C-alpha cells in the first residue's frame, strides 16, 4: 500500500472486516460491501444503500457481474462519477477509478462474472433464481469461510483503497460529499 493511503488505513481494514461479517449475517453482497464502505468512511445514506439492493447475486441473482464488485463500483461512482450528463471529464474520472476495481477482480479471480467466481470458491455455480439453490449457497458459505464473504471482504478492501485515493484528491468530490452528508 502506498503512503498516501495511510490516513485511511483503518477505514480500509474496517471495510474489509465489515463486508465479510455483513455478508455472513445478511447476505446480499452488493449491499454488504456498500454498507461496509459507507460505515467505514462515513459517506452515503439509505438511498444509496437501497439502490444497491438489486445488484446482489450477480445482478438480480443472475450470476453475471459480481454483486460485491457492483457494491464497490456504486461507491466509486457516487464519489467520482458525474452528477450532470454534460460532465464528460467527471464521467471519464469515474470510469478510470471503476476500471481499477475491475482490473483487481480480474487479477485475483480471473473474472468479474459471479457464476465463475462461485465455481472457483465452491466448485460449482448456483442458480440463485431458485430458492433451494440460494439455501445451498448459504449453507456452502457457512461451511467455507473463503466463500462469498471472502469475496465481499476483498471487494470492500480494494474499493476502500480506491475511495481513499479519491478522497485524497479533494474537489470536485468535496461538493458531492457536502451534499451527501446533509442527507
| Residue 179 to residues 7, 78, 182, Cα–Cα distance (Å) | 23, 11, 5
Q: What cell was used for 178? A: 457536502
Q: How high is the pLDDT of residue 170?
A: 74
Residue 41 has pLDDT above 80, yes or no: yes
Q: How high is the pLDDT of residue 174?
A: 44
Q: Hunting for cell 476483498 — which residue is that?
A: 154
Give the range of the structural domain holding residue 125, as residue numbers without chain letter: 3-181
Residue 56: exposed, middle, or buried by beta-carbon count in 10 A (0-12, 13-18, 19+)?
A: buried
Tell me the per-residue pLDDT of 146-155, one tens digit each, with 9 for 90 and over: 999 999 999 9
Distance CA 121, CA 107 (A): 15
Distance CA 2, CA 8 (A): 11
Tell me the per-residue pLDDT of 104-126, one tens digit each, with 9 for 90 and over: 999 999 999 999 999 999 999 99
Residue 2 has pLDDT above 90, yes or no: no
How many structural domains is the chain composed of?
Answer: 1
The distance from CA 31 to its chain's CA centroid, rounded to whole angstroms, is 8
Amino acid at each position: 500500500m502506498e503512503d498516501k493511503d495511510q490516513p485511511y488505513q483503518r477505514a480500509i481494514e474496517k471495510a474489509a472486516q465489515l463486508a465479510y461479517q455483513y455478508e455472513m449475517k445478511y447476505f446480499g453482497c452488493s449491499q454488504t460491501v456498500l454498507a461496509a464502505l459507507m460505515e467505514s468512511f462515513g459517506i452515503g445514506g439509505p438511498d444509496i444503500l437501497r439502490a444497491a439492493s438489486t445488484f446482489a447475486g450477480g445482478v438480480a441473482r443472475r450470476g453475471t457481474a459480481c454483486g460485491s464488485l457492483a457494491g464497490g463500483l456504486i461507491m466509486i461512482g457516487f464519489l467520482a462519477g458525474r452528477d450532470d450528463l454534460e460532465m464528460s471529464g467527471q464521467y471519464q474520472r469515474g470510469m478510470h477509478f471503476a476500471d481499477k476495481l475491475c482490473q483487481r477482480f480480474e487479477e485475483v479471480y480471473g473474472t468479474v462474472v459471479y457464476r465463475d467466481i462461485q465455481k472457483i470458491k465452491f466448485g460449482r455455480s448456483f442458480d440463485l433464481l431458485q430458492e433451494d439453490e440460494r439455501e445451498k449457497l448459504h449453507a456452502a458459505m457457512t461451511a467455507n469461510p473463503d466463500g462469498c464473504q471472502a469475496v465481499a471482504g476483498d471487494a470492500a478492501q480494494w474499493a476502500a483503497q480506491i475511495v481513499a485515493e479519491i478522497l485524497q484528491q479533494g474537489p470536485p468530490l468535496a461538493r458531492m460529499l457536502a451534499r451527501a452528508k446533509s442527507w
